[in-house]
Amino acid sequence: MADPTFFEALRWASIFLEKQQHEDAGRFLLLERQNWTTTQLLTHYRQVMPAATWQQFQADVRRFAQDEPAQYIVGQAPFYGHEFKVTPATLIPRAETEELVEWALAEFPAQQPLRVLDLGTGSGAIAVSLKLARPKWQVCASDISTAALAVATANAQHLGAAVEFKHSDVFAAMDQMQFDLIISNPPYIATSEREVMDASVLAHEPATALFAAESGLAIYRQIFSGLPQHLVANGHFFGEFGYQQRPALTRLVAALLPASQVTFRRDIAGHERMLHIIN
C-alpha cells in the first residue's frame, strides 16, 4: 500500500492482526508513537500518512504480530494519567494496578503527610503516581533490579516526582525505616501457571517480577514477616495478588499478622485481586 491515509493504515493493521484477535493494537501503537489523543487521531484520519511514519507503523505492527508487547515496542505505557517509560527490565503497568493506587489514595485525606514505601517498584508507576497525586507524601520506592530502578528513576525525573529510590530485596536494605503506608504489586504467580500465560508475557516481561516460589506466595511471606518492623502502629499495607490467592493469603495473614485487620477488594472485572492490612 503506497501513501495510505491514517485511516487506511489502521484498517490495514486491523486486517493484518485479525487472526491474533488484537485488531485494536494498531491504534495503540499509532497513538503512542504520535503522542496523540483519540480526538487528535480522528482529526488526522483522512490525511496521508508521511512515508517515514508509515514505514515505522508497519514495522511496529509486524513486531507485535511476533508476540512482542506493544508497550515495549513504543517504549512507554500509560498509567494513572501519565506516560511511563518501560523496558524489558520492568513489568508493563496494568489497569488493575491503577485500582490499587486509587484505593490507597482514597483511604487518606489529601493534605495528610505520610511516609510511603512502594516495594518492588519496577517502572516506578505506583510510587510516581502516588507522589504526583499527593505532593506532601514522602515516597520511597525499592526494587531488587538495578535495571528497573534506572527506568523508575528516569520516569520520576521526567514526570517531576521527588521519589527516593533504594536497591533492596523486600526490606533487606531498609534498616530500621518505618512507614505509614506500604504498597506493593509483588511477584505472585506460581511457576506452575506458566502453561496458561500469554506467550508475549513469558517471552518478554521479566520473570523475577512475575514468579514467586511457594505457589506464588514467597514474596508475600517476606513482606508480611517484615510489616511489624517497618509499619508504624496502625500503619497500612496495600497489595495486589492473583485472583485465586485470597484463601492462601488469608491463612498467611492469620499466621504472620494475627492482630491485624485485613480487607479484600475485587477489581473492575469482579476478581478478588487486592488486599488492605492495618497492623
Q: Which residues are annotated as a binding site for substrate?
A: 185-188
Cell numbers given for 98: 491503577
AA identity, residue 85: K
Instruction: Report the alpha-carbon distance of residue 43 to residue 40 in Å, rounded.
Output: 5
Cell numbers given for 77: 505505557
Q: Known binding site: residues?
A: 120-124, 143, 185-188
275: number of Cβ within 10 Å: 22
Instruction: Report the alpha-carbon distance of residue 166 to residue 153 in Å, rounded.
Output: 10
Element (H, E) at 228: helix 218-230
AA identity, residue 202: L
Q: Known binding site for S-adenosyl-L-methionine: residues?
A: 120-124, 143, 185
Non-local (6+) Cβ contacts of 171 within 8 A are 119, 222, 223, 226, 229, 230
Q: Are 164 and 141 in contact (CB under 8 A)?
A: yes
